[in-house]
């Protein structure tokens, strides 16, 4: 069994990007600039955005935190989005979700300039991805594809079962794994909460990508020998014996499943660190695209 180490791989990617930023600087070019829009003070969102800003500093990107009050109106937020779209100094930005309940997330995401949508959530980018055209791929699926590629996991002709159909992970993964090329060329089954006899699908899978959010859902008796398992789940489970009062669990019963797997991601330290690394990679791509357009 080989561990797909997201922590190590994400550090490798950050080092590669940092080297490229140094080259851009040396050539007198503009370094990539990423902004994060944070509405309100949701604890988890503050943590995520903080780690993104810190990662930007580590690799030499410019970064801006746009902190807005919880009480901001939808129209005021749309005006801020328009401002960011028109800011030539900015290469890409993300709007940290979830947004307060009085704001229509869909309306906000649609207002983002697709050329600055480094989260890859805009329908234009999603459509381009589905048509195998150059686009920003959502950071978590992008990170999974990168792990599969760097660890040389064979995907061509394999049966991939995706558990979960979210627009952020499950659905894009089903598209990416069936695309032509490596990694890809898989036969994909997309399963979800309404799938009957889900274990019948997972038992026959060569690759399982699970983004369900149910701790330790996937058990050893649901997988075959030699399976590759990508665990996107991340759930806080109360644990009085832990100093924090909780532990982080994935969708996979790691102790049982790892004994049968050929490749598996740990939680934490698997897919999570890759997400931020690929957001940075998308921002670098955005900078290159803007630079090419301005020539």
Residue 71: cis peptide before it, omega within 30 degrees of 0: no
Please name which of 247, 280, 279, 250 lies closest in space to residue 4, comparing C-alpha atoms: 250
Query: Does the annotation flag 262 for ligand binding?
Result: no
Q: Where do runs of H (alpha helix) occur along 27-166? A: 43-59, 74-86, 105-111, 123-130, 139-150
Please name which of 172, 202, 186 lies closest in space to residue 278, comparing C-alpha atoms: 172
β-pair partners for 36: 65, 94
Which amino acids are annotated catalytic?
52, 96, 119
Query: Does the annotation flag 150 for ligand binding?
Result: no
Query: Alpha-carbon distance 187 to 96, whole Å?
Result: 33
Please name which of 13, 1, 8, 3 lies closest in space to residue 277, comparing C-alpha atoms: 13
Query: Alpha-carbon distance 44 to 41, whole Å?
Result: 9
Query: Does the annotation flag 166 for ligand binding?
Result: yes
The torsion angle over the Cα atoms of residues 114, 117, 121 and 124, rounded to 10 degrees, is: 10
3-state secondary structure of 147: helix
Binding positions: 164-166, 234
Binding positions for NADP(+): 164-166, 234
């Amino acid at each position: 069994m080989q561990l797909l180490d997201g922590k190590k791989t994400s550090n490798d990617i950050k080092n590669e990007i940092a080297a490229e930023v140094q080259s851009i600087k040396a050539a007198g070019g503009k370094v990539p600039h990423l902004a994060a829009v944070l509405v309100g003070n949701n604890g988890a969102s503050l943590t995520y955005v903080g780690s993104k800003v810190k990662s930007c500093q580590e690799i030499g990107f410019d970064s801006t935190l746009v902190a807005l009050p919880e009480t901001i109106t939808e129209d005021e937020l749309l005006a801020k989005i328009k401002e960011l779209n028109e800011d030539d100094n900015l290469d890409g930005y993300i709007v940290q979700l979830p947004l307060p309940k009085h704001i229509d997330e869909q309306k906000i995401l649609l207002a983002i300039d697709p050329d600055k949508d480094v989260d890859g959530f805009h329908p234009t980018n999603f459509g381009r991805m589905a048509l195998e055209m150059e686009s920003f791929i959502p950071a978590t699926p992008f990170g999974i594809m990168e792990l599969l590629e760097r660890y040389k996991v064979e995907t061509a002709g394999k049966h991939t079962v995706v558990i979960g159909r979210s627009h952020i992970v499950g659905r894009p993964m089903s598209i990416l794994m069936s695309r032509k090329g490596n990694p890809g060329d898989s036969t994909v089954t997309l399963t979800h909460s309404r799938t009957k006899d889900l274990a019948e699908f997972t038992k026959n899978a060569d690759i399982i990508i699970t983004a369900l959010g149910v701790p330790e859902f996937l058990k050893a008796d649901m997988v075959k020998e030699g399976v590759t398992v990508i665990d996107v789940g991340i759930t806080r489970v109360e644990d009085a014996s832990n100093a924090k009062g909780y532990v982080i669990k994935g969708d996979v019963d790691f102790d049982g499943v790892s004994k049968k797997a050929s490749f598996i991601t740990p939680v934490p330290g698997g897919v999570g660190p890759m997400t931020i690394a690929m957001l940075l990679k998308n921002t670098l791509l955005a900078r290159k695209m803007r630079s090419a357009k301005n020539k």
